[in-house]
């Protein structure tokens, strides 16, 4: 077991994940698309932001509480959906949900999870959101939406930035996929990472089989029926505004749209009744020329700020980044890789440590910029 207390920031969690995971899994998390320009731009845009701090003020008793859909969360962040999380750690989705609940923040589960949503709702609870990839088979998609609504999902997060499979060359080279494809190269890779092999894969085998897609209908996970149904449960390149309207009408809870970058799209989604938007370029994983999310955020805020909840992701690595996002007008941020590296290194305890570090960084930075509450973080703090 990795000494979690000996890891002091997200970058160290990334390095520890690299040691524990087989190369093909580490690359699946860490990689982006093509020449990895977008992922670098995301970080560059965040790193460029300068704060003009205020002082002296009494900054004792700092409060990280933030209002989200009429209820308070304990800091302005949530855990973003990451498909395949359960490959990193045995049933990692349960650990992600437990750590989020203990930290007083929501967890958004991905469609492509190794634990079904209903089980997380039953065994963990908390503020659970569900990320939806609309499948070509619409009737099966709507059935899934009804299922997660019945299980108590607070929000449905419809991802709209992935109409086709992105060009991720490392995945193609590594033969990455769920169910796992056991090639000679990745079998060797697995045996070179015994902590993952015994601590994760073996646990699945002992529990009855290889990790599967547990939100998918059972036919998807049976070797005999899978070939016929798999193409109907892939990505859909026909998701349009009318589809968002249908999902809005179908889902009784909060509806968010993830992958919005353009102010006009933001306006259109709010007009359709979206309760929130995620300004996201999927962590730079889809379009390599995508604008950095922190550069796109001000346009979206100018268009719909105050009319809807705005979440930003792609490149958040420090609590300080949350201050930057709030100063630019976002309501909250979400983390994909940061918390997934936490799960990869230590399951629930790893995610908890990552969230603790980010909370500590945030409260330290709040004192240093001269604010006591999240609402006091405004555009006034931005230098120039």
Number of residues written out for the chain: 384
Element (H, E) at 259: strand 254-260
**Residue with Cβ nearer ligand FMN (66 or 335):** 335
Can you tell me whether residue 107 is helix, strand or coil?
strand
**Residue with Cβ nearer ligand FMN (168 or 193):** 168
Helices (H) and strands (E) in the chain, counts: 16, 10
CB of residue 134 to ligand FMN, shortest distance in Å: 11
**Residue with Cβ nearer ligand FMN (357 or 371):** 357
Calculate the alpha carbon distances from 270 to 62, 125, 186, 273 in Å: 33, 28, 45, 5
CB of residue 169 to ligand FMN, shortest distance in Å: 16
What whole-number distance in Å separates Cα of residue 164 and Cα of residue 282?
13
Identify the active-site residue in 193, 216, 262, 282. 282
CB of residue 133 to ligand FMN, shortest distance in Å: 6
CB of residue 340 to ligand FMN, shortest distance in Å: 6
Q: Up-side HSE of residue 136: CA atoms within 13 Å toward CB?
A: 10
Element (H, E) at 271: helix 263-271
**Residue with Cβ nearer ligand FMN (32 or 304):** 32
Beta strands 332-335 and 71-73, pairing class = unpaired
**Residue with Cβ nearer ligand FMN (277 or 371):** 277
Can you tell me whether residue 82 is helix, strand or coil?
coil
* Contacts made by residues 323-327, CB under 8 angstroms, sequence distance 24+: 323/51, 323/362, 323/365, 323/366, 323/369, 323/377, 323/381, 324/46, 324/49, 324/51, 324/294, 325/294, 325/297, 326/76, 326/374, 326/377, 326/378, 327/49, 327/51, 327/377, 327/378, 327/379, 327/381, 327/382
CB of residue 367 to ligand FMN, shortest distance in Å: 25
CB of residue 224 to ligand FMN, shortest distance in Å: 26
Catalytic annotation present for 360:
no
Q: How far is CA 72 from the centre of its chain?
A: 20
Binding residues for ligand FMN (CB under 6 A): 28-29, 80-84, 110, 112, 131, 159, 258, 280, 282-283, 313-316, 335-338, 340
**Residue with Cβ nearer ligand FMN (162 or 371):** 162
The closest residue (CB) to ligand FMN is 336
CB of residue 76 to ligand FMN, shortest distance in Å: 15
Strand partners, 158: 132, 257
- The closest of 1, 238, 54 to 141, measured between CA atoms, is 238
**Residue with Cβ nearer ligand FMN (134 or 304):** 134
Can you tell me whether residue 318 is helix, strand or coil?
coil
> Which residues are catalytically annotated?
282
């Amino acid at each position: 077991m990795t000494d979690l207390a000996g890891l002091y920031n997200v970058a160290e969690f990334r390095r520890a994940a690299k040691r524990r995971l087989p190369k093909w899994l580490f690359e699946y998390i860490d990689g982006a698309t093509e020449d990895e320009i977008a992922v670098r731009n995301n970080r560059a845009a965040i790193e460029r932001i300068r704060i003009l701090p205020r002082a002296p003020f009494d900054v004792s008793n700092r409060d990280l509480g933030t209002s989200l859909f009429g209820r308070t969360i304990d800091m302005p962040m949530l855990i973003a959906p990451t498909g395949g999380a359960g490959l990193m750690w045995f049933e990692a989705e349960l650990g992600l949900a437990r750590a989020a609940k203990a930290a007083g923040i929501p967890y958004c589960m991905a469609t492509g999870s190794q634990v079904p949503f209903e089980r997380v709702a039953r065994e963990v609870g908390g503020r659970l959101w569900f990320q939806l990839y609309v499948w070509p088979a619409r009737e099966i998609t709507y059935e899934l939406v009804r299922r997660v609504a019945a299980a108590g999902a607070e929000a449905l997060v419809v991802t709209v930035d992935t109409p086709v499979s992105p060009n991720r060359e490392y995945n193609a080279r590594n033969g990455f996929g769920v169910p796992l494809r056991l090639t000679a190269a990745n079998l060797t890779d697995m045996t070179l990472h015994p902590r993952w092999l015994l601590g994760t894969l073996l646990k699945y085998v002992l529990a009855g089989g290889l990790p599967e897609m547990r939100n998918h209908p059972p036919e998807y996970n049976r070797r005999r029926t899978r070939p016929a149904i798999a193409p109907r449960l892939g990505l859909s390149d026909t998701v349009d505004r009318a589809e968002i309207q249908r999902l809005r009408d179908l889902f009784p809870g909060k509806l968010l749209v993830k992958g919005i970058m353009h102010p006009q799209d933001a306006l259109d989604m709010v007009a359709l009744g979206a309760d929130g938007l995620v300004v996201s370029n999927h962590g730079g994983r889809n379009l390599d020329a995508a604008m950095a999310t922190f550069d796109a955020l001000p346009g979206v805020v100018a268009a719909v700020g105050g009319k809807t909840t705005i979440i930003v992701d792609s490149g958040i690595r420090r609590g300080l980044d949350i201050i930057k996002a709030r100063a630019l007008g976002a309501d909250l941020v979400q983390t994909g890789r940061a918390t997934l590296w936490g799960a990869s290194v230590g399951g629930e305890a790893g995610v908890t440590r990552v969230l603790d570090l980010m909370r500590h960084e945030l409260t330290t930075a709040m004192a240093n910029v001269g604010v006591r509450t999240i609402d006091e973080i405004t555009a006034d703090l931005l230098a120039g």
